[in-house]
Amino acid sequence: MRRTDPEGHGPVRYGPPFPEQGLPLLPGLSAALAEAADRDGSGPSRLPALLDAACGYFARRGLPAEPDDVAAAPGAPAIFVAVTAALGGDVLVPRPCPAWWAPQVRALGRSVFHVPTPMECGGVPDPYALLETVRRIRAEGGDPRLLVLAVADDPTATVAPPELVHETVEAAAGEGLHLVSDETWRDTVHRPHDTVLLSPAEMLPDRVTVVTDLAGPFLPPGWPAAVARFPATPDGAGLRARALDVLTALGARIADPVAAAAAYALDEPADVTQRLTAGNALHARVADAARRAVVAAGALVLPPQAGRHLYADLEPLRSALDARGVGDAQELEDLLTARLGMPAPGGHRFGDDLAALRVRLSTGPLLGASAAEGAQCLTSPEPLELPHVQRALTHVGSVFADLRDDAQRWEPPR
């Protein structure tokens, strides 16, 4: 299992794919895109309609906004680069965090510092660890200015409790940090009636920029679109203006057909909200089943609460993995990707230590290999009993059970 490819698979260009929905494309989205597909960009822009739709989307989530408070770009990474460049200084992120956050900061020549998260969730740093990290950076001559967090998290699929969000946001504000709240996964909460999701912008509207990549709840990843809500203050207006300058310099403009589809999704007509609700419930069931299979083999997995993924810690199976020549997250990624037949990016992609045996598993591939199989999952009252879903889950269970059996064979006699 030792890697022989001299180039390796660790660089950013081999980064993990976005957790896809695994479901057929919604006809309303296709129609909105097709209606604008013959536009060559010379007529009226679709951007004003998209910004208006974004204002309505944010307002329905308790975050009122005017068009002059929002911006749009072809994906959250473009907005993140623009905001980071506009703010300057060093950036703090939780450990682990989405795979693209740290590389974006480093590409700008800025320093990025990972802050530990509590044991019960990811996405939001421990407030005391945050304060200590800020103190250390400043003592070493650094200039921390930005904290990036995600209440509904990738890769851990957890939702940070409101009390943690309160404490961390207060700590960040006390240190004069601006916050970017990545809320890409907020609309994919598995059990919305049982889960309280608090946006940092509800607590501290004057210091928080909210970013949502529409590939989380609405659009396929191949249609890149994201929206951001800046603070409705003079400082917020200045930050937005500088970020828009960066986006313009990068040529980061959403194509008109994608902007039309994004505006349609953000208006949240009935077909969009019904699909989102059904998709969330489906992925919740599949994620729970996948977690049971992985935990039964002895691995550690926090209960997934949002998104289309789960994050597994295979440290209890280290002896079995050592016997297979797997000693770090990259080698674990190689092994599980080959055995599972689907991407299983290692935790090092998300800022975790390379030596930690952690991987992110996505639920989309478990829904089938075709749009027809995904559609079956949506309409079936018992999707876990569909033959293709059963086969996928059984395969996941068998791969991890093999590791458990190997670990038991390697246990020293008592």
* CATH architecture for the domain at 27-268: 3-Layer(aba) Sandwich (3.40)
Does the structure show a pLDDT above 90 at 114?
Answer: yes
**Per-residue pLDDT reduced to its tens digit, 349-392:** 999 999 999 999 999 999 999 999 999 999 999 999 999 999 99
**What is the CB neighbour count within 10 angstroms for residue 91?**
26
pLDDT digits (tens, 9 = 90+) for 190-235: 999 999 999 999 999 999 999 999 999 999 999 999 999 999 999 9
- Mean pLDDT lowest among 8-17, 69-78, 104-113, 202-211: 8-17
Contact 144, 134 (CB under 8 A): yes
Q: Can you give the pLDDT at residue 408?
A: 72
Q: Where does 8-75 have alpha helices with state H?
A: 27-35, 47-59
| Position 12 confidence tier, pLDDT thresholds 50, 70, 90 | low
Does the pLDDT at position 4 exceed 80? no
Instruction: Determine the topology of domain 271-409 in CATH.
Output: Aspartate Aminotransferase, domain 1 (3.90.1150)
Distant-in-sequence, close-in-space partners of 353: CB < 8 Å, separation ≥ 6: 329, 347
Task: Give pLDDT, residue 6.
Answer: 39
pLDDT of residue 2: 39
DSSP-based helix, strand, coil % in the chain, nearest 5: 50, 15, 40
Whole-number Å distance between alpha carbons of 262 and 74: 10
Which is higher by pLDDT, 71 or 412? 71
Helices and strands, number each (H, E), in the chain: 14, 10
**Mean pLDDT taken over the chain:** 94
Q: Among the ranges 142-151, 319-328, 397-406, which has the highest mean pLDDT value?
A: 142-151
| Separation between Cα atoms, residue 159 and residue 307, nearest integer Å | 10
- Confidence class for position 5, pLDDT limits 50, 70, 90: very low
pLDDT tens-place string over residues 250-292: 999 999 999 999 999 999 999 999 999 999 999 999 999 999 9
pLDDT interval class at 15 (50, 70, 90)? confident
Q: What are the residue ranges spanned by the domains of the chain?
A: 27-268, 271-409
The residues near 136 (Cβ < 8 Å, ≥ 6 apart) are none
Tokens of 377: 């999952």
Exposed, middle or buried: residue 379 (CB in 10 Å: 0-12, 13-18, 19+)?
A: exposed
pLDDT at residue 326 in the model? 95
pLDDT at 413: 53
* Alpha-carbon dihedral sign for residues 21, 25, 28, 33: positive
Structure-token pair, residue 151: 């209440």
Report residue 45's pLDDT band, with 50, 70 and 90 as the boundaries: confident
